[in-house]
């Protein structure tokens, strides 16, 4: 997936504000300074965020073995007691530069604009007392973990702990604690995919997620606020390959009780006996359009829903829809970033409320007049 950003002047739009730049010389017209902003979370709780670097010393990195043990960067989002602490940065400038180079080559937009996207979490905010379900989020192949920040912040505001995972060498850019930024070049730019194709990448992600769960819920957890996690109530959601990884993880790890696939193809579909939500674009994922969803649906014996959203594309299920819209690259028939992200947060939040908190959600029962873009399918 690439976002092609043309050399155009960015103007204020739904998820963007423009303010004068103070750096312009007296002889030139002031250039606009662009501020991108994610939608505000819908839950009642302030949101805190910690960055958790993890090293799996028992496993060599499968894509770059010479780099040593498998390294994972995880953003932990959680309900906070108060909105204290500094704003949580969206991503590093190096990560943003790598994202633009890989997904939008030649774009006339500074990396600082992307890295400076306004978020709503506070770094290191004091955690709210209590124990909360855990949701693991996995991004699409070639995308950074930040691409699902809109969902991580919203779930945390609704009283979930969220582990947003960056899978090493599978992201456009991941900045490590030592300051190095690694990319997916060793994996994504191979002349041919790794042995086993994308199924091999998915299988490796199941090992990543198992390790993350061990580190968060084991006897000696790696995260200082791990006491917030209710270890018997764990869910997983992912975009694209991350959605495939969610299903694959559930197939091998009983700790994950419910899962969501956002616009991702299965490699391959697997049998599932626990709640699962399929949610994708109308153009690519109606019955008969993606045979892996047709196959996957027949293999799901637990609670299940198949939803498609009209006027969306693959980017609509990520934060990058905000960037795409700001650059004027959203087609006239594509939903605004605000609307598409609003729909996704509503249904994913309702799904986890029902299956991790036991609160029945009428939104999941069938079509809603409030959301005419969403169709329910029962093939």
pLDDT in tens, 202-246: 999 999 999 999 999 999 999 999 999 999 999 999 999 999 999
325 Cβ contact list (under 8 Å, min separation 6): 13, 14, 15, 16, 336, 337
The contacts of residue 178 (CB under 8 Å, 6+ apart) are none
The predicted-structure confidence for 335-352, as pLDDT tens digits, reads as follows 999 999 999 999 999 999
Whether the CB-CB separation of 301 and 273 falls below 8 Å is answered with: yes
Is the pLDDT at 29 greater than 50? The verdict is no
Tell me: pLDDT of 3 over 80: no
> Which pLDDT score, from 0 to 100, does residue 330 have?
67
**In the predicted structure, residue 30 carries a pLDDT above the cut 50:** no
DSSP state at residue 230: E
d(CA 96, CA 311): 27
Confidence of residue 1 (pLDDT cuts 50, 70, 90): very low
* Residue 14 pLDDT exceeds 90: no
Mean pLDDT of the chain: 90
185/182 Cα distance (integer angstroms): 8
- In the chain, the percentage of residues whose pLDDT exceeds 90 is 82
What local confidence, expressed as pLDDT, does residue 2 receive? 37
CA 149/CA 202 separation, integer angstroms = 21
Task: Name which of 33-37, 290-294, 307-311 the model is least confident about.
Answer: 33-37
* Cα–Cα separations (whole angstroms), residue 126 to 12, 56, 95, 165: 34, 28, 27, 22
User: Would you state the pLDDT for residue 283?
Assistant: 94
Confidence of residue 33 (pLDDT cuts 50, 70, 90): low
Reduced to 3 states (helix: H, G, I; strand: E, B; else coil), residue 88 is coil
What is the domain partition of the chain in residue ranges? 16-377
The predicted pLDDT at position 336 comes to 95
Q: What is the mean pLDDT of residues 153-180?
A: 97
Q: What is the pLDDT of residues 52-93, one digit of tens each?
A: 999 999 999 999 999 999 999 999 999 999 999 999 999 999
Contacts of residue 168, Cβ cutoff 8 Å, sequence gap at least 6: 61, 63, 64, 67, 70, 71, 72, 73, 174, 182
Place of tokens 């989020």: 137
- State the average pLDDT over residues 106-121: 90
The answer on pLDDT for 265 being more than 70 is yes
Q: 3-class SS at 243?
A: helix
Two tokens, residue 371: 């959301």
Output the pLDDT for position 239.
Answer: 98
Mean pLDDT (whole number) for 303-332: 89
For the 16-377 domain, the top CATH level (class) is alpha beta
The stretch 262-291 carries a mean pLDDT of: 97
Calculate the CA 34 to chain-centre distance.
Answer: 23
pLDDT confidence of residue 204:
97
Distance of CA 261 to the CA centre of its chain: 11
| Eight-class DSSP state of 269 | -
d(CA 11, CA 108): 13
Position 329 confidence tier, pLDDT thresholds 50, 70, 90: low
């Amino acid at each position: 997936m690439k976002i092609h950003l043309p050399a155009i002047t960015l103007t204020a739009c739904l998820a963007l504000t423009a303010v004068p730049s103070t750096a312009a010389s007296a002889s030139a017209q002031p250039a606009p300074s662009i501020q991108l902003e994610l939608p505000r979370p819908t839950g009642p709780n302030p949101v805190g965020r910690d960055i958790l670097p993890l090293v799996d010393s028992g496993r060599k990195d499968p894509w770059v073995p010479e780099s040593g043990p498998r390294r994972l960067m995880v953003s932990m989002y959680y309900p906070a007691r108060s909105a204290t602490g500094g704003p949580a940065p969206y991503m590093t400038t190096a990560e943003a530069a790598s994202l633009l180079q890989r997904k939008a080559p030649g774009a006339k937009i500074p990396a600082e604009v992307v890295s400076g996207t306004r978020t709503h979490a506070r770094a290191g905010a004091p955690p709210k007392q209590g124990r909360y379900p855990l949701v693991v989020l996995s991004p699409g192949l070639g995308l950074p973990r930040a691409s699902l920040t809109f969902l991580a912040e919203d779930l945390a505001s609704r009283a979930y702990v969220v582990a947003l995972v960056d899978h090493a060498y599978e992201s456009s850019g991941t900045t490590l604690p030592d300051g190095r930024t690694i990319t997916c070049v060793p994996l994504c730019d191979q002349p041919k995919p790794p042995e086993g194709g994308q199924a091999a990448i998915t299988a490796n992600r199941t090992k990543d997620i198992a390790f993350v769960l061990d580190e968060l819920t084991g006897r000696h957890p790696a995260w200082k606020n791990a006491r917030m996690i209710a270890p018997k109530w764990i869910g997983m959601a992912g975009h694209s390959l991350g959605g495939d990884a969610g299903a694959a993880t559930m197939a091998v790890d009983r700790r994950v009780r419910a899962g969501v696939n956002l616009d991702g193809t299965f490699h391959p579909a697997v049998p599932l006996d626990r709640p699962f939500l399929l949610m994708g674009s109308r153009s690519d994922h109606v019955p008969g359009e993606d045979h892996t969803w047709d196959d996957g649906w027949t293999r799901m014996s637990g609670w299940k829903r198949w939803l498609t959203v009209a006027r969306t594309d693959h980017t609509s299920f990520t934060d990058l829809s905000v960037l795409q819209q700001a650059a004027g690259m959203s087609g006239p028939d594509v939903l605004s970033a605000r609307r598409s992200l609003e729909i996704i947060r509503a249904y994913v939040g309702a799904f986890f409320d029902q299956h991790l908190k036991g609160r029945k959600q009428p939104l999941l029962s069938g079509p809603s007049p409030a959301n005419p873009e969403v169709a329910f399918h029962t093939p």
